[in-house]
Amino acid sequence: MGQLETTSQVARKHDFDVTINASFFAAPATREMAGEKIHYFVGNCGWPQGWHFSNGKLHSKPNTASLRATMIVHRNGKISLADAVQALPADTQFAVSGNAMMLKNGVSTPPVKDEARHPRSAVGLSVDARTLYILAIDGRQESHSRGVTLGELANIFIQVGAHNAINLDGGGSSSLVIKDPGTGAFAIANQPSDLSTLKLPVRFERPVVDVLGIKLE
């Protein structure tokens, strides 16, 4: 369990070069704003619903079989993507889960029911597992982007050169933050789908429970 923060907040706090939201999560407490109950606010308590391993500790296990597609960072720095993970390997350093491994060994493997287009956050690996692909795709914005199905997402990963890929939490949670190496400034690379709770036509990052943060060497 932890407090929700935006992807940008975590990126700045830890000085990550590339940061993307990660786990599906629960945040049951609400706050009322403009007559609506809001679950996603900074400081609210939440917890991941898939595998989450960090700081040498297992913080959560999947509460459903659909959240076992997992990205594992091993102690030697190697990254692996695996489906239907029942137990984390002994050399796990970090792990987060998504809800689908829609690209497996170069083959698109979306669920049978795959009609809905949504904003997506996802990660993929090349066949030699030496290149990590990080994608944030906007959606729910008719004038900008409707999003993609998981099958369409798999095809995008194939086009960029990935061999395996998993879908992380998406929808309003999708947020990709990049640090400019020259200026040190942080910017949101995509356009999140959530609107301001004040009913303004302004898009905001949704606070999330965890992120995938990368420091470049």
Judge whether 137 and 120 are in contact, CB under 8 Å.
yes
Cα gap 49→26, rounded to integer Å: 7
Q: What is the pLDDT along the chain (217 residues), one digit of tens a residue?
A: 689 999 999 999 999 999 999 999 999 999 998 788 999 999 999 999 999 999 899 999 998 999 999 999 999 999 999 999 999 999 999 999 999 999 999 999 999 899 999 999 999 999 999 999 999 999 999 989 999 999 999 999 999 999 999 999 999 999 999 999 999 999 999 999 999 888 888 999 999 999 999 999 8
The four Cα atoms 150, 152, 154, 160 give a dihedral, to 10 degrees, of: -150
Cβ-Cβ contacts under 8 Å for 148 (sequence gap 6 or more): 117, 118, 120, 137, 139, 156
* pLDDT for 48: 96
Angle value at C-alpha 119, between 117 and 125, nearest 5 degrees: 100
Question: Distance from CA of residue 94 to its chain's centroid?
Answer: 14
> Considering the entire predicted model, what is its pTM?
0.95
Judge whether 162 and 107 are in contact, CB under 8 Å.
no
Question: 203: which 2 tokens?
Answer: 């898009």
Residue 100: Cβ within 10 Å count: 22
